Amino acid sequence: MHAELKVRDLQRKLFRAAKAQPQRTFGVLYPQVCSDMVVRTAYELVRRNRGAAGVDGVTIESIEAYGVERFLQEIREELRQEKYRPMPVRRVFIPKGDGKQRPLGIPRVKDRVVQAAVKLVIEPLFEASFRPNSFGFRPKRSAHDAIETIRREVNRGKGDVIDLDLKTYFDTIDQKLLMQLVRRRVRDPRVLRLIKLWLRAGVMIDGRHEDTNLGTPQGGVISPLLANIYLHPLDLWWEKTMPWTTMVRYADDMVVLCPKGRAERYMVELRKFLSRLKLLVNEEKTRLVSVRTGFDFLGASFRQQWKLHRPHEMQCYVWPSGRSMQRFRDKVRALVDGDFQSSLSEKILQLNRVIRGWGAYFRPLNSQRAFHKVDYYVWRKLTRWMWLKHSRTRAMKGSPSMLYRRAGLATLSGTVRYVSLNAV
């Protein structure tokens, strides 16, 4: 904890220096990356996130058995002597909601620690310049902040929306252009060399090595920061040239809220700038919509409609999207169906983690109706499981009071904590 406090103090100093001098580039950063406090804090961040092993098969548990102090000392020595070399990332594929698969790169633990160390040092330099419309993977900013910004801007009168999706963004980042953007803040050649090594480390797919001359592996500790750096020129340009619109960006997901009737014109300009960044628009998922028609973003559905108790006023309402509801049902079904060896208490313990985690994200929204639906779905799936497990009397089906009170099943109904924004 002492090391973390020192690192925070270092980050505050770097942030203030970068904020005071927006055009300054920082040349002596490598000693901080190699310092005991930064490497130790980086390891602690990686340890908390756990994660799978990389291509070397080394896990957090095996490092703890080997000796954390010995492991950290070896990293510091490799960095100081400039002998550190990353290994290729292990490529895995995770299913997406649309049935497709998302490629994910898993660096080895040592590489994750060194990436985290570099990120701890250079992130404040870029944070000092990042724009307020960017919310993804940034300190003290969240998806809820992005959702509230959209709700506020719709209530202020923005009538049309550009719902834009970039095609395989992380895999199409131009590495040469990315390094040029990094150099606007960082000129320490040893730090720049580390970033280049990670970009060119390659990936291992089923034991086969593939070069990575394009993109940044999605899954690396430093990849979200690099992704934000790459799209920072878009934020700057849009803020300067389109001040009457509002772009809300969460990493590579973005929407643009426009005055009514102008979205098509702005979409043309947006495409032109994205082509300058050598990025492709996903035509299948990109569309122009009215706020009255509604759109989905960050797992939520947005729509402007008449207020329930004030029928002459319009309000932007936000609730869990249909896809988010389906993903929740899929998780519940996977936990409940088929497994008759677990006890009711074990099953409820597993379900409660899913219910509470899902509810925490959507609690600030207009989610009361959705919460009633998911509560009923969970209760129905669980009572059916009990009936199949016991195959006895009707009493074994359970009742809402038994499951929610005596058995401790979590419920979401009545837990919404949404405070409505005043329409401006």
Taking only the tens place, the pLDDT of each residue in 287-343 is: 999 999 999 999 999 999 988 777 778 899 999 999 999 999 999 999 998 778 888
> What per-residue confidence (pLDDT) applies to 345?
86
**Mean pLDDT along residues 228-254:** 95
> If pLDDT is split at 50, 70 and 90, which confidence band does 424 have?
very low
Distance CA 183, CA 177 (A): 10
Write down the pLDDT at residue 401: 63
pLDDT level of residue 395 (50, 70, 90 thresholds): very low
Does the pLDDT value for residue 261 go beyond 60?
Answer: yes
Q: What is the mean pLDDT of the segment spanning 181-197?
A: 98
Q: Quick one: average pLDDT of 341-351?
A: 88
Q: Looking at the predicted structure, is the pLDDT value of residue 279 above 90?
A: yes
- Partners of 302 in beta bridges: 295, 318
Residue 408 has pLDDT above 90, yes or no: no
Work out the pLDDT band at 31, boundaries 50, 70, 90: very high
End-to-end CA distance of the chain: 44
Mean pLDDT across 389-401: 56
Span 365-393, mean pLDDT? 86
Mean pLDDT of the chain: 91
Pick the residue with more confidence: 96 or 102? 102
Question: Is residue 391 predicted with pLDDT exceeding 90?
Answer: no
Higher pLDDT, 235 or 92: 235
94 vs 177, residue with greater confidence: 177
Helices (H) and strands (E) in the chain, counts: 16, 11
Which pLDDT band, with edges at 50, 70 and 90, does 99 fall under?
A: low
Per-residue model confidence (pLDDT) at position 131: 97
Q: Is the pLDDT of residue 123 over 70?
A: yes
**What letter would DSSP give residue 288?**
E
Rounded distance between C-alpha atoms, residue 14 and residue 26, angstroms: 9
User: From CA 329, how far away is CA 373, in angstroms rounded?
Assistant: 10
Residue with structure tokens 């040469």?
A: 176
Q: Which of 114, 130, 122, 116 is nearest to 10 (CA)?
A: 122
- According to the model, what pLDDT value does residue 1 have? 62
The confidence score (pLDDT) of residue 308 equals 72
Q: Given a cut of 90, is residue 109 above it in pLDDT?
A: yes
Instruction: Check residue 310 and give its pLDDT.
Output: 72
What DSSP string runs through 153-222?
A: HHHTT--EEEEEEBTTHHHH--HHHHHHHHTTTB--HHHHHHHHHHHTS-EEETTEEE--SSS--TT-SS
Amino acid at 356: R
Question: Does the pLDDT value for residue 179 go beyond 90?
Answer: yes
Q: What angle do CA 286, 288, 290 make, to 5 degrees?
A: 140
pLDDT of residue 406: 73
- DSSP label of 96: -
pLDDT on residue 11 = 97
Task: Map residue 115 onto helix, strand or coil.
Answer: helix
Q: What is the pLDDT of residue 210?
A: 84
pTM of the model: 0.91
Cα 277 off chain centre by: 22
Q: Are 222 and 153 in contact (CB under 8 A)?
A: no
Q: Between 212 and 34, where is the model more confident?
A: 34
Give the rounded distance of the alpha carbon of 260 from its chain centre. Answer: 30
139: phi then psi, degrees, rounded to nearest 5: -60, 140
In this predicted structure, the answer to whether residue 50 has a pLDDT above a threshold of 60 is yes
What pLDDT is attached to residue 387?
Answer: 81
Task: Tell me the mean pLDDT in the region 38-52.
Answer: 94
Whether pLDDT at 259 is above 80: yes
